[in-house]
Structures are given as structure tokens and as C-alpha cells.
């Protein structure tokens, strides 16, 4: 009797848990559904009913208007992809290397160096934007994607996350064994440390890619040539003038901007799930 009651209680708990998870999933997907539906609607329909789950017939017209304006989806996609991939690669590789130097080695100024990184973490990017632009202008790197990619080498947030992940997950015995076998430090880092850090790297890669892809403030300062505009910069031009804005076209531009982010998330999510499962087994 007691076992039967326990099984019934477990069944009820599972039903409630799955129902709650399904509701959360639906709530998470709802903004994307609304954005896609609005991309198929006209401005009049959106102004009359901002929220609708029924697609309309204006998707082709919105896309034709989108491509006939200053918005070039393919060019903006390529430009944003160049910047975002470069930023993500620099952020992940060099931040992991910095965290490895903090965790794996004992040197005199290690703690003051980490404290300095934490202090830099508290400084908003907008505070340094004027000085950064003056510096980029003086060295002649405006309208150059390197001015957006190279600063990603110094990413305090990623360094902090990698350090916290590395402290319990990086076995020093393996590193010592590799050194005894004659492996150099760069080989140890590239062939031993990086594979162990895949879950953390995948997590931070999603954050870095999304942040760089959605970044509008800094590219708007550095990039002034139309052919070098990124996707967010092009979408910002779709607002039109004070008299008329094609909201369906704006939603379509936003939808095209979000698509690569979803692809990146689905490609890297398996590494995050694997890391969570590995942590559960270790626990």
C-alpha cells in the first residue's frame, strides 16, 4: 500500500514538473513566434493588433521592401559574421589562456593581477568609449573590423568564469605528467587544457557571439561606411522617418538578425549539456 502511494506521488510530481517545463518552454518560444508572425504582417495590421499568432500574407512584400531599401541582408550577415566569429575566437582562446596562467602557475603578482581584472570588470564600456574612439582614430583604424575584434582579447568576465570553472575541473597531476614527458606549455594548453574546457568554452562562446552580434553602440562609433555595416546597424536604419515606419519590415529584419544566434546556440548546446552531465557524474 505504501509503495503504491509513493508511486502515485512520484507520478503526480512528474506530471507537474513536465507541465511546468512545457509552460516555460512555450513562454520562451512565444517572443520568437510573435516576431516571425509580425514579419508576415503589414504595418496596419501590427498597429491594430500588436500581438497575434496567426500569420498574414505580407511576408513576400516585406522582404521585397527590405531588400529594396538600404538593408542588404547578405552583406550585413557576412559583416556581422566576420566580427562575431573573430570576437568569439579571441575572447575564448585568450581568456582561457589567462585563466590557465592564474590557476596553473604560482607567481608573485598573481593575486594583484586577478584583482586588477575584477576592477576592470566593473568599468562600463561606455565610460571608455570616447578615449577608445580617439585612440582608434589617431592610429587610422576606423572602418576596420580589427578595431572591433582585437579588444576582445581582454575580456574580464570570461576570464573570471574560466578561472572559476578551471579551479575544480583541471587536474594538476595530468599537467605535471605532460611536463615530465617533455611537452611544452603551449602544447599542454592546446592539447590538454582546451579539450577539458569545452563545456565552459561553449557556454562563453554563446555569450560572446550573442553579445558581439547584437552590439550596436561600438560599431556605430567605429564604422561609418555603408558597405561595412553590421546587421544591427542595418536594422536600426529600418525605423524610417518620423512620419512612417514599416513595422513588418522591421520585424523581418529582426527575425533575420536572430536566426544566426539560434543556430549558434543549437550547435553549442550539446557541449553545455555534456558538461552538466559530467559535473553530475563527478558530484
Cα distances (Å, whole numbers) of residue 122 to 113, 160, 204:
15, 12, 18
Angle between helices 110-121 and 156-169 (to 10 degrees): 130
Model pLDDT for residues 224-272, shown as the tens digit of each residue: 888 888 888 888 877 655 456 778 888 888 888 888 888 877 877 776 6
- On whether the CB atoms of residues 189 and 146 are closer than 8 A, the answer is no
b/e 60-70 (16+ beta carbons within 10 angstroms → b): eebbebbeeee
Contact at 8 Å (CB) between 80 and 232? yes
Report the C-alpha gap between 18 and 14 in whole angstroms.
Answer: 6
Going by pLDDT thresholds of 50, 70 and 90, the confidence category of residue 154 is confident
Q: Are 46 and 247 in contact (CB under 8 A)?
A: yes
Cell digits for 146?
580589427
Task: Enter the pTM of the model.
Answer: 0.81
Predicted local distance difference test score (pLDDT) of residue 70? 65
Q: Is the pLDDT of residue 3 over 80?
A: no
Q: What is the predicted pLDDT for the residue at 17?
A: 87
Among residues 87, 89, 107, 108, the alpha carbon closest in space to that of 97 is found at 89
pLDDT score for 5: 66
Which pLDDT band, with edges at 50, 70 and 90, does 97 fall under?
very high
pLDDT of 280: 40
Amino acid at each position: 500500500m505504501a509503495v503504491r502511494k509513493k508511486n502515485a506521488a512520484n507520478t503526480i510530481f512528474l506530471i507537474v514538473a513536465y507541465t511546468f517545463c512545457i509552460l516555460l518552454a512555450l513562454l520562451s518560444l512565444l517572443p520568437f513566434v510573435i516576431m516571425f508572425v509580425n514579419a508576415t504582417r503589414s504595418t496596419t495590421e501590427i498597429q491594430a493588433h500588436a500581438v497575434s499568432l496567426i500569420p498574414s500574407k505580407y511576408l513576400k512584400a516585406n522582404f521585397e521592401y527590405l531588400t529594396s531599401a538600404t538593408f542588404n541582408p547578405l552583406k550585413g550577415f557576412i559583416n556581422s559574421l566576420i566580427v562575431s566569429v573573430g570576437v568569439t575566437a579571441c575572447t575564448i582562446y585568450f581568456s582561457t589562456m589567462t585563466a590557465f596562467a592564474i590557476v596553473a602557475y604560482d607567481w608573485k603578482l598573481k593575486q594583484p593581477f586577478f584583482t586588477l581584472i575584477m576592477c576592470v570588470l566593473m568599468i562600463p564600456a561606455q565610460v571608455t568609449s570616447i578615449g577608445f574612439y580617439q585612440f582608434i582614430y589617431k592610429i587610422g583604424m576606423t572602418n576596420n573590423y580589427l578595431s572591433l575584434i582585437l579588444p576582445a582579447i581582454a575580456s574580464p568576465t570570461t576570464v573570471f568564469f574560466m578561472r572559476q570553472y578551471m579551479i575544480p575541473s583541471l587536474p594538476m597531476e595530468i599537467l605535471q605528467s605532460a611536463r615530465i614527458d617533455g611537452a611544452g606549455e603551449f602544447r599542454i594548453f592546446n592539447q590538454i587544457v582546451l579539450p577539458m574546457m569545452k563545456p565552459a568554452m561553449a557556454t562563453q562562446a554563446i555569450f560572446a557571439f550573442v553579445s558581439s552580434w547584437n552590439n550596436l553602440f561600438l560599431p556605430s562609433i567605429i564604422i561609418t561606411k555603408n558597405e561595412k555595416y553590421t546587421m544591427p546597424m542595418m536594422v536600426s536604419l529600418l525605423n524610417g522617418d518620423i512620419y512612417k515606419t514599416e513595422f513588418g519590415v522591421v520585424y523581418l529584419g529582426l527575425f533575420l538578425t536572430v536566426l544566426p544566434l539560434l543556430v549558434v546556440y543549437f550547435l553549442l548546446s550539446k557541449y553545455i549539456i555534456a558538461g552538466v552531465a559530467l559535473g553530475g557524474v563527478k558530484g
